[in-house]
Amino acid sequence: MRNFTIAAVAAAGLALGAVQSASAADIARPVYKAAPVIAAFNWSGFYIGGNVGYGWGQGEFDNFGGLSWNQDGFFAGGQIGWNWQAPGSQWVWGVEVDSQWANMKDDATFAGGGAVVNLFSDLNYFGTARLRLGYAAWDRAMFYVTGGLAWGSNEVGASAAFGPALVGSLTASSTHVGWTAGAGVEWALLDNWSAKVEYLYLDLGNEAYFGGVGAGGFDVDLTAHTVKVGLNYRFGYSKNPVVAKY
């Protein structure tokens, strides 16, 4: 009986020591938790939107002593485009085409010897087709540069009067083709909606009116600066899973 009691006590002591050792090991061992997965905004996808803006620029006759004028006004239109952003990358590649109905014009009046001459120039439409390179500096803000092809329709006209009598008037339109470059910033307001502010410089080149200088007409150079705000709706919204870093 005495031997049995001693054996029981020894067994209990060993068991208690094992439990304490296991508890100490559990406390000392670090516990690793899986890193949370954070959904990061991704700019990839097709989008469509509208915009309004203000433009100002200069026109110049190649003849008539280099006569120039400043034309400005508002415009409104729409754009369609496509972006691609690789998962885990902050660089965004894209292409965009826009079309604008404009009212950027200027007029001048010259008087002398009883005669009055009125001249005007009106850029009533322009559009661009551009590449875009953006950098998503924050999750939902992207800065970008852009450049490409630009075109526009401009109308010029003149009228002359001698006293109360109108001597004559004429108008002509021409389509200018040139280039554009600029920059902007775009914010993702909601999952499918984004807003942007954009500046573009347009060099619409030289075009002939009334047959050009050799045919008794004249050539016009056009340049313009534009600032616009726009709103885009993006199709196929998605988020890329990104593992948080510690």
Using pLDDT thresholds of 50, 70 and 90, give the confidence band for residue 28: low
- 120 in Cβ contact with 171 (< 8 Å): no
Tell the CATH topology of 40-243: Porin (2.40.160)
Q: What does the mean pLDDT of the chain come to?
A: 82
Q: How does pLDDT run across 40-89, given as a tens digit for each residue? A: 788 999 999 999 999 999 988 776 666 788 999 999 999 999 999 998 89
Domain assignments of the chain as residue spans, ordered by start: 1-32, 40-243
- How far is it, in rounded angstroms, from Cα 174 to Cα 122? 11
Residue 193, pLDDT score: 94
Residue range 114-143: average pLDDT? 90
When comparing pLDDT for 171 and 226, which is higher?
Answer: 226
Instruction: Give the bridge partners for 193, in sequence order.
Output: 233
Residue 12 has pLDDT above 50, yes or no: no
Nearest alpha-carbon partner for 84 in 50, 138, 137, 47: 47
Give dist(CA 101, CA 196) in Å, integer: 19
Which has the closest alpha carbon to 104: 60, 56, 173, 150?
Answer: 56
Quick one: pLDDT at residue 241? 47
In percent, the amount of the chain with pLDDT more than 90 equals 51
Query: Is the distance from CB of 102 to CB of 123 less than 8 angstroms?
Result: yes
What b/e readout covers 166-178, taking b as 16+ CB neighbours within 10 angstroms?
Answer: eeeeeebebebeb
pLDDT band at 4 (very low <50, low <70, confident <90, very high): very low
Query: Which residues, in sequence order, are CB contacts of 84 under 8 Å at separation 6+?
Result: 44, 92, 93, 94
Cβ–Cβ under 8 Å, residues 87 and 53: no
Token output for 194: 């984004």
| Residue recorded with tokens 């938790």 | 33
Count of CB atoms situated within 10 Å of the CB of 188: 21
Give the pLDDT score at 111: 75
Average of pLDDT values for 85-95?
A: 93
Say yes or no to pLDDT of 243 above 50.
Answer: no
Note the pLDDT of residue 237: 63
- Segment 209-218, tens digit of pLDDT: 887 666 667 7
- For residue 74, which amino acid is it? F
Q: Give the model's pLDDT for residue 160.
A: 80
Using a cut of 0.75, tell me whether the model's pTM lies above it.
yes
Please tell me the distance from the alpha carbon of residue 219 to that of residue 59, in angstroms, as a whole number.
10
**Intra-chain end-to-end CA distance of the chain, in Å:** 62
- pLDDT tens, residue by residue, 101-121: 999 999 877 776 777 878 888
Return the pLDDT at 7. 45
Please calculate the CA angle 240-41-188 and round it to the nearest 5 degrees: 160
- Predicted local confidence at residue 181, as pLDDT: 98
